[in-house]
Amino acid sequence: MISRFVEYAGDIYRVLLETADGAWLIAYAQAKEPFYVSANNFVDYTPVQTPDYFIQACKSIESMSEAQVRRLQMIEMLVADDEYICDSKARRRKAQEIAEVYGVTVRTVLRLYFRYLASGVILADKPRERRRNPEFERAIQKYYYSSRQFSLRGTYEMMILEHYMDDTGQIIEDTPSYHTFRHYFYDHRLHQLPQKIIAREGLSAYQRNHRLTLGSGPGWRDRLGCYQMDATLADIYLVSRLDRSTVIGRPNIYLAVDTMTQLIAGVYVGLESGETAVMTCIAQAAGDKVDFCRHYGISITEAQWPNTGVPWEIITDKGREFCGGRVEELALRYGVVIQNLPPYRPDRKGLVEKAFDLIQGRYKPLLRGKGVIEEDAQERWAVDYRAQASLTLDEFTAVVIHTIIYLNSGRLLTNSLTPAQQWLEAEDKMLQVDTGELSCMALPRTKAQMSRKGIRHKRMWYVPLD
């Protein structure tokens, strides 16, 4: 074959074969079959220089990938004989034989063959320049990338009203179709730009749900005692232990998760919320877990839930319960650093958020039909899950504790260790404090009046007996 190129009517063609009677050409820009041009007509084709992309393709033959080599081997019998350039019937028969051997279609074989003849490459099409349409771009920027959240069809219609209407209010003749507008939008990858999400949903939504996250949560801290804390409302309804026919609502779950080891260090399950629940969770994280579990009828060893002591750092969002006076008192008394992250950014403390997901994902299949809230809770004709409630607060707390014990001592991480094993192997030590003192700090606080008569609280007097 000849590596000579000619131009006619603005298009470039590669000369494959040339004789005294004429020449066989193939379009360089498109993978179409070769065609014959007589000698009289071939005079109108102007010789041009070999395109740079074709020269680069010829030089890159030695560095072809395995996939390119396999495809070149597939069509090597067609490339080796110039007869298949001129004889379309013989070419199709040979392509049929190759397709049966390699398990592909005849169209695939011919497409690779034509592409190789035209441009010297076997896999990728030649890069083509995407022309920009200023009117399309302006309409997309103004209407689609907007907090008003126009649909793509609505953006197109607004563009028509703004740029393609005459003085009488009629649409002009050369108005582009919606198909052209839509093809331009997706062909230029305008739907994949971060600007789309930021403009339509806000920067917080982009950072929370769509941005790339690099690194890992455990690698953020290299020592024990950095707890991520948060709270969630459990997806289950509970009943009163005094009267099981009375539904008391949904409990709150507070968790403290160690950043380095992913160990769930502390938990609080109850109807309380606010500072009292936060301090109770911290006090439980600092106390003896064997005694805590024994209170709910669960027997464990210290190695299954090994952490004790007060953390040196607590990472939370700007919830009111994490910014109150008792949390500040804890920070001052024991030197705990409270790091408040921006609100509505659960991705910044992903370990505790994932811990909630793991806990609820484990107990919900087991307790289905006992008050567990399903995804169809707000739909029409959905089941009233309050009528299914059957567990008390203590029973549900025991279920959560069993789940936490499994996640701490039965779940293998990427390093083939459990969170409890990582905690035991770490050399850092936590600050050991008096658990009774912490429990007192966790008690609810209120205001009272003191006088000579005694202490007055909620319209009642408390006086000494003697």
HEC profile of 286-329 = HCCHHHHHHCCCCCCCHHHCCCCCECCEEEECCCHHHCCHHHHH
Angle formed at CA 383 by CA 378 and CA 384, multiple of 5 degrees: 85
Which residues are CB-neighbours of 65 under 8 A, at least 6 positions away?
Answer: 123
Structure tokens at 280: 């109770």
Residue keyed to tokens 């035991």: 424
According to the model, what pLDDT value does residue 364 have?
94
CA distance 282 to 309: 9
According to the model, what pLDDT value does residue 2 have?
55
Structure tokens at 340: 């408040």
* H helix count then E strand count, the chain: 18, 15
According to the model, what pLDDT value does residue 30 have?
73
Domain 219-442 has CATH 3.40.50.720: no
Half-sphere exposure of 183 (CA within 13 A, CB side): 7
CA distance 266 to 263: 9
To the question of pTM greater than 0.85 for the whole model, the response is: no
For residues 254-292, one letter each, b for 16 or more C-beta atoms within 10 angstroms of the residue's C-beta and e for the rest, the string is bbbbbbbbbbbbbbbbbebbbbbbbbbbbbbbbbebeeb
According to the model, what pLDDT value does residue 445 have?
83
Q: Name the burial class of residue 102, with classes exposed (0-12), middle (13-18) and buried (19+) by CB atoms within 10 angstroms of its CB.
A: middle
According to the model, what pLDDT value does residue 295 have?
95
User: For every one of its 466 residues, what pLDDT tens digit does the chain have, with 9 covering 90 and above?
Assistant: 556 888 888 888 888 888 888 888 888 877 788 888 888 888 888 888 887 777 776 666 666 777 777 888 888 888 888 888 888 899 899 999 999 988 888 888 888 888 888 876 665 444 455 678 999 999 999 999 998 899 999 999 999 999 999 888 899 888 999 999 999 999 998 988 888 989 998 888 888 788 777 766 676 777 899 999 999 999 999 999 999 999 999 999 999 999 999 999 999 999 998 899 999 999 999 999 999 999 999 999 999 999 999 999 999 987 888 887 888 899 999 999 999 888 777 778 889 999 999 999 999 999 999 999 988 877 777 788 999 999 999 999 999 999 999 999 999 998 899 999 999 998 877 888 888 888 888 888 888 999 888 999 988 999 987 6
Q: How many CB atoms lie within 10 A of CB 195?
A: 13
Beta-bridge partners for 397: none
For the chain, the structural domain boundaries read 4-119, 134-209, 219-442
Starting at the earlier edge strand, list the strands of the sheet with 337-340: 264-270, 252-258, 226-233, 313-316, 337-340
Structure tokens at 252: 């709150």
CA distance 177 to 141: 19
According to the model, what pLDDT value does residue 8 have?
85
Grouping H, G, I as helix, E, B as strand and the rest as coil, residue 266 is: strand
According to the model, what pLDDT value does residue 128 have?
53
According to the model, what pLDDT value does residue 126 have?
45
